[in-house]
Each structure stands twice: as structure tokens, then as C-alpha cells.
Amino acid sequence: MNQKFKTILKKLDKLSIKRTLILSERKSNAIIVRNNKKLISFSCNDYLGLTQHKEVISANIHATKKYGTGAGSSRLVSGNHNLYKTLEENLAKFKKGESACVFGSGFLTNIGIIPAITSKNDLLLYDELSHASTNLGLKLCKANIIKYKHNSISHLIKILNKKRKNYKNCFLFTEGVFSMDGDRAKLNEISELAKVYNFSIILDDAHGFGVLGNGKGTQFEFKPNPKIFLQMGTLSKAIGSYGGFIVAPKVVINLIHNKARSLIYTTGLPPGTIAASIKSLEIIKNNKNLINKPIKNATFFCELLNLPKPESCIVSIIVKNEQKALNMSKFLEYNGYYVGAIRPPTVPKNTSRLRFTFTSMHTNKDIINISNLVKSYLN
């Protein structure tokens, strides 16, 4: 049996898509230590540096001392400690929603909510570049599922014209910011279609929450705000802690409590983790300069390289070939910078890339230096 697995690994290695875990130590100011080398990282989703924030760390420590290191059981048994209530109320208020529910992770959120709120009589439409967690959630549900071309309003209209009339309920899944390309969903146009075709929008805003729309998320970039039925977000990126959440009508949250298996059958988050999220959300509410800095840094990088203006904190430079992406990543690492090479199956074949994520911790000097290195490598 072991030989079978060795053969699979050899095949992955030959295709330049084999992965290896490397011990990494993250420090403040975007510093990371990998392979015993100190690097400036452009491959971290800690957009606001809150994982290293003294007040966030202090909140975590205080809660851990008071409540212990773990929740002890699932939320529906005895793991629903009182910090959950505070965080969920704060999230719902900040996101201008009725109620909220916190899950163990963003991945658990997506695989839990989709089967919980849909049935075999529903139609589900989703963007082809949706996250792996959304794709798995879709596989776990019984609804009729149709994929539409990335951000293609015309393709979406074609599907709706053909299929919508056959179903009483229809949901559309999209992302606020698409994690591999950094572009945003066309929420204004999608929300107008929702009025015409009567469907509900479910928005995965893992990479928009905390950094766009004054921290509230991608839909708050638009005036008026598009109507979103269910807002999904993560606590492990801009918030700098861990977990996932949804903001939705209270009746939906009550349904989630009863039907979302990834919530029901998993242990609650540690009190210290929840306390850290509460403190981070407070910082995001009150520090607009902090939340605006990542997108400013991404914009500065694009200006230096004559790239299109970014729509988020994520900028991808596509080099197509897997080995070329790995070689470019190694070149940057040799010169003191860490940028991970993204390859299939994470992205489609022939779209391997260097994916740069910009944070509030990056300095102009960091950005100028790495842009010069990118220029020298590509020219």
C-alpha cells in the first residue's frame, strides 16, 4: 500500500506541484523565519498585523487565565462560553445584520451553512473561482448546482433565463474578494439581477472583511450597499485570531444551530481565541488609518510595476509555468523576501503565479525593494 502512495507523490513532484511543510516563525513587522533565514513576508493574510498586537495578545491571555485553554465540548453541549455572545452581537452590529453565528474556522463555516440552508428543490449558482470550502459545501448539499463563468454577468443571465423559473428558491454564492486573483465580485450588478430574478446572495468575504468598506467588508464599498442575504467572514485574516462566522436573519441563525453539522459536531473555540477576536474587532472599528493601509501598499506596489490598480490587498503576477513560479519564489527568498508560489490544483493549469499579499506592516522601503527584484527577475 505504501508503494501506491509513493507513486502518487513522485507524480506530484514531477509535475512541480508537490507540497512540503516548512517550519516558520512569524514575528512583528512582517518578518518570518523559514529555513533558518530571516525574511520579509508578502505571503501572510494577517492584513492588519493584529496577531502581534499587544492589546489583542493581552485579551487572549486574560481570557485564558480566567476561563482556561479550551471550550471543553461543542457549543450545543457545554462549550458555548459567554464570550461567544459578545463576539456574535458585535459582529452582527458592525456588519449591520440581525444576528451572527461563529464557527470553528472559515472552512467549517462554508461546508456547514450550504447544506444546512438548502434542499433538493433549490437552485444554487456559484462563481467558478469560489473557494475550495464552498465547492465542498456544494458537494455536501442536495440542491441543483450550476457553475457560472468567473464574474460573467452575461453567463449568469443566460443561466437564470433558462433555469430560474423551474425552482421556488434560488441562491447565488460569490466571494467579495477572490483569494487567488484579488479581484472583487460585481456585487452591484449581481444585486440588481437578484431583484429581477428573485434570488438570495450569499457572500464569502474572507479577504474583504476588515480591510474594505471601512472594515465592514466588500459590499460596504458600494452606495447604496447591495442587499446580501448571508454574509460570511473569517476571524483568521484581518481579525488576526481564528474562526469563521456568518451574519444573517435570526431565523437563519436558529436553523444553523440545528442543522449545520460543522457547528454541531465540533468543539467550541478556546475562550482566549474569542477574546482576541473581540479586541481586534474593536480596533478595526476605531482605527481607520490602520484598515486603509494594506490597500494603499498594494496600490503603491502596482504603481511601481505599472500594473493595473488593485481591487484588494492581493496582487498576483502570473508566470504560467509551475517551475518558473517556484524559481521566482526561490529568487526572492535568496534576496530576503518570502512570496509563495501558487500552483495547480489551487489555481487552474497554466496559471501558476506569485501571489503578493499586502499588510499594514509593510513599509515603503519593503515595497520598493521587492518591486525592483520582481523587475530584475522578469526582465
The domains found in the chain, sorted by start residue, are 21-52+287-378 (3.90.1150.10), 77-286 (3.40.640.10)
Beta bridge partners of 320: 352
Calculate the CA dihedral of residues 260, 261, 265, 267 and round it to 10 degrees: -50
Q: Please choose, from the candidates 37, 7, 31, the residue with its C-alpha nearest in 3D space to the C-alpha of residue 361.
A: 31
Report, as an integer, the average pLDDT of 296-320.
Answer: 96
Report, as an integer, the average pLDDT of 228-246.
Answer: 97
**CB count, 10 Å around CB of 63?**
21
203 contact partners, CB below 8 Å, separation of at least 6: 174, 175, 176, 185, 187, 217, 218, 219, 228, 230, 231, 232
At 6, is the pLDDT very low, low, confident or very high (cuts 50, 70, 90)? confident
**3-state SS class at 363:** coil
Q: Please choose, from the candidates 318, 346, 258, the residue with its C-alpha nearest in 3D space to the C-alpha of residue 76.
A: 258
Predicted confidence at residue 354, as pLDDT, reads: 95
Sheet holding 37-41, edge to edge: 24-26, 31-34, 37-41, 337-338
pLDDT tens digit string along 53-105?
999 999 999 999 999 999 999 999 999 999 999 999 999 999 999 999 999 99
**CB count, 10 Å around CB of 129?**
20
CA angle 59, 64, 66 (to 5 degrees): 95
Predicted confidence at residue 4, as pLDDT, reads: 87
Task: Tell me what the pLDDT averaged over the chain comes to.
Answer: 95
pLDDT tens digit string along 224-235?
999 999 999 999
| Helix intervals (H) in the chain | 2-14, 54-67, 82-94, 106-117, 132-139, 153-163, 187-197, 250-259, 261-264, 271-286, 288-304, 322-334, 364-378
Instruction: Return the active site residues.
Output: 45, 131, 175, 179, 204, 207, 237
pLDDT tens digit string along 354-374?
999 999 999 999 999 999 999
Report, as an integer, the average pLDDT of 135-153.
Answer: 94
Predicted confidence at residue 219, as pLDDT, reads: 96
Report, as an integer, the average pLDDT of 31-50.
Answer: 94
Q: Please choose, from the candidates 70, 75, 73, 86, the residue with its C-alpha nearest in 3D space to the C-alpha of residue 258.
A: 75
At 346, is the pLDDT very low, low, confident or very high (cuts 50, 70, 90)? confident
Predicted confidence at residue 49, as pLDDT, reads: 96
91 contact partners, CB below 8 Å, separation of at least 6: 97, 100, 102, 233, 245, 247, 281
Whether pLDDT at 176 is above 90? yes
Whether pLDDT at 43 is above 90? yes
Q: Which residues of 202-240 are buried (b: 16+ CB within 10 A; e: fewer)?
A: bbbbbbbbbbbbebbbbbbbeeebbebbbbbbbbbbbbb
Whether pLDDT at 135 is above 80? yes
At 8, is the pLDDT very low, low, confident or very high (cuts 50, 70, 90)? confident
Predicted confidence at residue 38, as pLDDT, reads: 95
Whether pLDDT at 24 is above 90? no
Whether pLDDT at 348 is above 90? no
Predicted confidence at residue 16, as pLDDT, reads: 76
CA angle 358, 351, 239 (to 5 degrees): 30
Q: Please choose, from the candidates 127, 109, 248, 108, the residue with its C-alpha nearest in 3D space to the C-alpha of residue 176.
A: 127
Report, as an integer, the average pLDDT of 244-258.
Answer: 97
At 146, is the pLDDT very low, low, confident or very high (cuts 50, 70, 90)? very high
Q: Which residues of 313-340 are buried (b: 16+ CB within 10 A; e: fewer)?
A: bbbbbebeebebbbebbebbbeeebbbb
pLDDT tens digit string along 263-299?
999 999 999 999 999 999 999 999 999 999 999 999 9
